[in-house]
Amino acid sequence: MVYSPRFCIFVLTTNNIMVTINSTLEDIMQLDYASREMLLEILQKRQIEARREEIAKTAKQTLRSYHSGKLQPLTAEEIVKKLNKD
């Protein structure tokens, strides 16, 4: 990803095809208001789902580590002590 501060354009390169976010935004602005609102809602829902998947993946990894004995349970007091040590 390349950022040009002079023109405020991000350039994404995928398989030698260059697409600018700026041109995409210009295309989006050609849509009617209702379509732009729908697009925003779709993007927000996809972001939420992606975050949920990330949290679930992390939780599964943590549970595997716990069950394999790599992690030990701690009380809240022990956690606070460890945090204050660092």
pLDDT digits (tens, 9 = 90+) for 23-60: 888 899 999 999 999 999 999 999 999 999 999 999 99
Using pLDDT thresholds of 50, 70 and 90, give the confidence band for residue 20.
confident
| pTM across the whole model | 0.60
> What pLDDT is stored for residue 11 in this prediction?
55
3-state secondary structure of 10: strand
Pairwise CA distance, residues 28 & 8, whole Å:
17
Using pLDDT thresholds of 50, 70 and 90, give the confidence band for residue 73.
confident
> What pLDDT is stored for residue 59 in this prediction?
96
